[in-house]
Amino acid sequence: MEWFELSIATTHQACEAVGGVLLSCGVNCWAVEDKADLTDFMQHNRELWDYVDDSLLERGEGVTVKVYLADNEQGRETVLLIRNVLADFKKRETELDLGPLSVKTGTVNEEDWANAWKKYFHPIEIGDRLTVCPSWEDYDNASGRKVLSIDPGSAFGTGGHATTKLCLTLLDGMDCKGKSVLDVGCGSGILAVAALLLGADKALGVDIDLNSVNVAQQTALRNGVQDRADFRQADLAAGVTGKYDIVTANIVADIVMRLTPDVPALLAPGGRYIVSGIIDERVEEVVRCLNANGFAAEKLLQQEGWAAICAVRA
């Protein structure tokens, strides 16, 4: 289905007023792109991010309000109405800084929203034993690899990002046979399911996002390991009990460091703790945290500005 995309250029000050105009035109849903929101998030949620795409930081100070309308007769009438009402509003409003209040119109395809990213996701061979393959592609498995089929939807974890590749490489290089695995921040379930395909006996994945938990359950089902996998909603390892041979956490540096003091109680003797989502500049900081909690870095892998560490209890 085709949709009209209206991009209204305005200011932070006038954003709510523009929303009022849209409501008066019968539009009750829109998206706001405001650099001030990004700046506020970065200032007050430092522990949730390490890397921000340069294109976001380079965005100007203006605000863009985006509206999507069906490409049909009613949609065309609404587009014209919005243009006319905004033009009248700009003439009448003298107190607010409205910015240009210009309207650009384009079209998008609904299928593009849902599937455009898929063209960049192809089978990925990891180490000597594992291949991650999107569910919609065929893979000629002549070498007899373990093939992890995945359709991540909106959950993080396709195997394409360096942090996930690094974690999978560390798992591929381990003897997982008969092991138990805890994956904190499981996302699509890719690490837990990979460990099971590589011989692990059971895996528990936890994630604060319920959608990720649901996607992870589907990943386990798609790969025939659902009887050995359990996924739950939790804030990090809150409520998790037991001992695990392998604990993985592919998150970000600050969250890894927040989690690490709780890991010794969950790690079986001789177990391994794999952490990733760490930009190169913060590796030493994370290693210091690991050392302070009784861990020693056994292996460090780096790729594309990211790092993953496999640690053992010192």
pLDDT single digits (tens) 161-172: 899 999 999 999
Strand partners, 7: 66, 104
Q: For the chain, what percent of residues have pLDDT higher than 90?
A: 70
At 101, is the pLDDT very low, low, confident or very high (cuts 50, 70, 90)?
Answer: very high
Q: pTM of the full predicted structure? A: 0.74
Q: How far apart are the C-alpha atoms of 209 and 198, rounded to whole Å? A: 26
* Measured distance CA(102)–CA(63) in Å, rounded: 11
Q: Which amino acid is at 263?
A: V
Q: What is the pLDDT of residues 266-289, one digit of tens each?
A: 999 999 999 999 999 999 999 999
- What's the DSSP call for residue 236? T
Q: What is the pLDDT of residue 288?
A: 97
Q: Encode pLDDT of 140-197 as tens digits.
A: 888 899 999 998 765 567 777 899 999 999 999 999 999 999 999 999 999 999 999 9
* pLDDT value of position 158: 74
pLDDT at 248 over 60: yes
- What pLDDT shows up at residue 307? 96
Surface-to-core class of residue 120, CB atoms within 10 Å of its CB (0-12 exposed, 13-18 middle, 19+ buried): exposed
How sure is the predictor about 219, in pLDDT bands with cuts at 50, 70 and 90?
very high
Reference 270, options 286, 247, 248; nearest CA is 247
Comparing 207 with 156, which gets the higher pLDDT? 207
Residue 236 confidence class, pLDDT cut points 50, 70, 90: very high
